[in-house]
Amino acid sequence: MDLTDFNCEQKKAITTTEGYIRVIAGAGTGKTKTLTSRYIYLVKEMGISKNNILCVTFTNKAANEMKHRIYNMTGLEALPYVCTFHSFCVKFLREEVHFLNYPQNFQIIDEHDKKDILRRIFNENKITSSSTTFKEVINYIIQRKQSSDYIRDHLIIKNKRKDFHYQTILEKIFHIYVEQQRQNFIFDFTDLIQVTLYILNTKKDIRDKWQKKIEYLMVDEFQDVNSSEYALASILSDYHKNLFIVGDPDQTIYSFKGANINNILDFHRTHSPCNDITLKTNYRSSKEIIAVANSLIKKNKKRIKKDLTTEISSKGSVQYALLKDDNIEADWIVRQIKNLIKNEKINYKDIAILYRSTACQRFIEDKLVSNKIPYKVCSGINFYSRKEIKDLLSYIHMLFDKADIHFLRTINFPHRGIGAKRLDIIKKRAEHDKISLFSSLKKCLLSGEIVSKPAKDYVSIIEQYSNYTHTKFSDIFDAFLNEIGVEENLRLDGDQERLDNVAEFKRILIQCEEDDLSIQNFIQDVALLSDLDKEDKEKKCVYLMTVHSAKGLEFPCVFICHLMEGIFPSSQISTDEDMEEERRVMFVAITRAKKYLFLSDNCMSSIYCSEDRTSRFLYDIGSKYLKDLKGKTFIKTTTSNDKQYIYKTQNSKLNKNQQNKIKKGMHVNHRIFGDGTVLSINIIENTATIQFDDFETQRTMNIDSLFFRE
Residue 6 has a pLDDT of 92
Q: Hey, which of 87-96, 396-405, 640-649 has the most confident mean pLDDT?
A: 87-96
**∠ at Cα 197 (194, 200), nearest 5°?**
150
Confidence of residue 684 (pLDDT cuts 50, 70, 90): low
The rounded Cα 197 to chain-centroid distance in angstroms is 26
**Nearest by Cα to 13 from 280, 240, 232, 283:** 280
Through-space distance between the first and last CA atoms of the chain, rounded to whole angstroms: 65
Does 273 have pLDDT greater than 90?
A: yes
Q: Burial of 204 by CB count in 10 Å (0-12 exposed, 13-18 middle, 19+ buried)?
A: exposed
Top pLDDT among 217 and 105 is at 217
Residue 412 has a pLDDT of 83
360-415, pLDDT tens digit by residue? 788 888 899 889 999 988 755 567 777 788 888 888 888 887 878 788 888 888 87
Q: What is the mean pLDDT of the chain?
A: 83
Residue 590 has a pLDDT of 96
Does 531 have pLDDT greater than 50?
A: no
Give Cβ neighbours of residue 634 (< 8 Å, ≥ 6 apart).
320, 618, 621, 622, 623, 626, 627, 628
Residue 651 has a pLDDT of 44
127-182, pLDDT tens digit by residue? 876 778 888 888 888 888 887 788 877 766 655 555 556 778 888 888 888 888 88
Percent of the chain scored above 90 by pLDDT? 31
**Nearest by Cα to 546 from 503, 515, 592:** 592
**∠ at Cα 369 (368, 373), nearest 5°?**
55
Confidence of residue 640 (pLDDT cuts 50, 70, 90): very low
Cα separations in angstroms, 520 against 8, 389, 469, 470, 527: 65, 16, 14, 16, 11
Q: Are 602 and 270 in contact (CB under 8 A)?
A: no
Confidence of residue 607 (pLDDT cuts 50, 70, 90): low
Residue 629 has a pLDDT of 52
Mean pLDDT of 112-139: 80
Round to whole Å and give the CA distance between 581 and 356.
13
Round to whole Å and give the CA distance between 668 and 658.
12
Lowest mean pLDDT among 12-26, 54-68, 595-609: 595-609
19-51, pLDDT tens digit by residue? 999 999 999 999 989 999 999 999 989 999 999
Does 654 have pLDDT greater than 80?
A: no
Residue 393 has a pLDDT of 86
Top pLDDT among 708 and 694 is at 694
Q: What is the rounded (10 degree) CA torsion for 512, 514, 519, 524?
A: -40
Mean pLDDT of 532-551: 72
DSSP 128-193: -TTT--HHHHHHHHHHHTTSTHHIIIIIIS---GGG---SSHHHHHHHHHHHHHHHHTEE-HHHHH
Does 124 have pLDDT greater than 90?
A: no
Count of Cβ atoms closer than 10 Å to residue 594 Cβ: 21
Q: What is the rounded (10 degree) CA torsion for 696, 701, 707, 710?
A: 70
Residue 134 has a pLDDT of 81
Q: Are 509 and 474 in contact (CB under 8 A)?
A: yes
Give Cβ neighbours of residue 190 (< 8 Å, ≥ 6 apart).
141, 142, 145
Confidence of residue 466 (pLDDT cuts 50, 70, 90): confident
* DSSP state for residue 79 in the 8-state scheme: -
Q: Are 258 and 143 in contact (CB under 8 A)?
A: no
Confidence of residue 593 (pLDDT cuts 50, 70, 90): very high
Which phi and psi angles does 84 have, rounded to 5°? -85, 165
**Nearest by Cα to 256 from 663, 577, 586:** 577
Confidence of residue 652 (pLDDT cuts 50, 70, 90): very low
Confidence of residue 467 (pLDDT cuts 50, 70, 90): confident
Lowest mean pLDDT among 306-310, 534-538, 549-553: 534-538
HSE, side-chain direction, 13 A CA sphere, residue 310: 25
3-state DSSP: the chain helix, strand, coil percent, rounded to 5? 50, 15, 35
Mean pLDDT of 481-499: 76
Does 694 have pLDDT greater than 50?
A: yes
Question: H/E/C letters for each residue in 596-623?
Answer: EEEEEEEEECCCCCCCCCECHHHHHHCC
Does 586 have pLDDT greater than 60?
A: yes
Strands 542-546 and 351-355 come out as: parallel
406-439, pLDDT tens digit by residue? 888 888 888 787 888 888 898 888 888 889 899 9
Lowest mean pLDDT among 381-385, 541-545, 705-709: 381-385
Q: Are 63 and 83 in contact (CB under 8 A)?
A: yes
